[in-house]
Amino acid sequence: MIPVDWKSLFEPAPASASVPGSGRGTAFRNIRKVRIEWSHCAPAGIVFYPRYFEIFDNSTNALFERALGLTFFQSLKTFKFAGYPLARTRSRFIRPTRFGDDVTVVSSITFGRASFSIEHRLIHDGEICVECSETRVWVVHDPTVPGRVESHPVPEAVRAKFRM
């Protein structure tokens, strides 16, 4: 019987991924406080992990809202897009969190060509508890087929907002 060496359960992430923006100073960042609620927790007494993805999805929306200075619905109109669906996600669950914990989520964004990445870190008592990396695509309405969307490079007008 051996004590949990949680850290060793994960391959070390590449430095650039685990420290978004470090050494480059370019990643736009948003920080929000989240109260862990009873509704987030499962019978083990700790957060049920799908709830973390709700928290991170909310954090992505908050990041955009702050950068663009618009609500999500205002953004849809202003930038004529149809959303930024998730294409891929990776997460590491390092330490559990519990009902009543006041945690901090630090979210930063990096733009690629047709997609962008968001790194979330959920922190409690000065320790990273969960790390999550999302790849999302910017999609617009297909003008020829109602209800169909297609990917599109993130407009420069949007990217510019994240540089300020």
**Interacting residues toward a copy of itself by CB under 8 A:** 1-7, 9-10, 37-39, 41-46, 48-51, 53-54, 57-58, 61, 71-73, 83, 85-96, 98-100, 114-115, 135, 137, 139-140, 149-152
Report, in Å, the least distance between residue 51 CB and a copy of itself. Answer: 7
Nearer to a copy of itself, 140 or 163 (CB): 140
Separation between Cα atoms, residue 83 and residue 95, nearest integer Å: 32
Nearer to a copy of itself, 21 or 83 (CB): 83
Task: Give the number of other CB atoms < 10 A from CB of residue 103.
Answer: 21
Nearer to a copy of itself, 72 or 78 (CB): 72
Report, in Å, the least distance between residue 58 CB and a copy of itself. Answer: 5
Report, in Å, the least distance between residue 162 CB and a copy of itself. Answer: 20
Report, in Å, the least distance between residue 137 CB and a copy of itself. Answer: 7
**Amino acid at position 45, single letter:** G
E strand or H helix at 50, and its extent? Answer: helix 49-68
Nearer to a copy of itself, 25 or 42 (CB): 42
Report, in Å, the least distance between residue 142 CB and a copy of itself. Answer: 8
For 130, the token pair is: 């969960």
| Helix, strand, coil percentages for the chain (3-state, nearest 5) | 25, 35, 40
Beta strands in 36-145 (DSSP E): 86-93, 102-111, 115-124, 127-137, 139-141
CB distance 162 to 110 below 8 Å = no
